[in-house]
Amino acid sequence: MSAPNGAVDAERTGRRVEAVLDRLARAGDPTATEAAEELVRALMDFYGAGLARVAALAAKQTDGPLAALLQDELVAGLLVLHGLHPWDATTRATRAVAALAGRPFEAADFDSATGTLRLRPAGGSGCGQTVEAAREQLEATLSCVAPEVTAVEVQPPQAQLLRIGPTRTRDADAEPRPAEVP
């Protein structure tokens, strides 16, 4: 609930939540009432943990608490959830890919129209099971830090072309040849 100046008023919001829970209780469906109360408890736990983390991280920082807050998955998730994260979806997704242990992927591109993040293998191809585990870990992380990413595609590794043929070497002591003029 907003106060006259547009700010959220904690007391009014609390009364509103109580009124909704009371309305559910009067409706006579104990299962719905219990579910609603459990939902409120879960959200309070989530936001309470996030705010505790914000306070702890901010207290530790003297040179810019925002950087520390953005590094924390829970806090970053809260910022994303409310549209307050300062980085766009592409930046958040790219950073999540770069933070993967072993760095099996590189972000190729993000299509915001379809929500598809395309990855390419980084370096060696890696073990298939390890790559799949990394992909699952990435998808879980992206659901928090870049929920705009709805699909992840891994491009197949590109074949390395090996040039085979005679190698031309030049004698280091030889005089350079003048260019032929037609």
Q: How many folded domains does the chain comprise?
A: 2
Q: How confident is the model at residue 74 (pLDDT cuts 50, 70, 90)?
A: confident
Residue 43 lies in a domain: yes
Residue 179 lies in a domain: no
106 lies in the same domain as 135: yes
50 lies in the same domain as 95: no
Cα distances from 45 to residues 16, 39, 40, 41, 82, in angstroms, run 18, 10, 9, 6, 17
Residue 165 lies in a domain: no
Residue 39 lies in a domain: yes
CB atoms within 10 A of CB 125: 11
25 lies in the same domain as 50: yes
Residue 112 lies in a domain: yes
Residue predicted with more confidence, 81 or 21: 21
Residue 170 lies in a domain: no
Could you tell me which residues are beta bridge partners of residue 91? none
Cα–Cα distance for residue pair 108/94, rounded to 1 Å? 9
Confidence (pTM): 0.60
- CATH code of the domain covering residue 99: 3.30.300
Cα–Cα distance for residue pair 103/135, rounded to 1 Å? 11
Residue 128 lies in a domain: yes
- The b/e string for 103-117 (b: 16+ C-beta within 10 A; e otherwise) is ebbebeebeeeeeeb
Residue 28 lies in a domain: yes
15 lies in the same domain as 64: yes
- At 168 the pLDDT is 58
Question: How does pLDDT run across 41-57, given as a tens digit for each residue?
Answer: 999 888 888 888 888 88
Structural domain that includes position 117: 88-154
Question: How does pLDDT run across 25-42, given as a tens digit for each residue?
Answer: 999 899 999 999 999 999
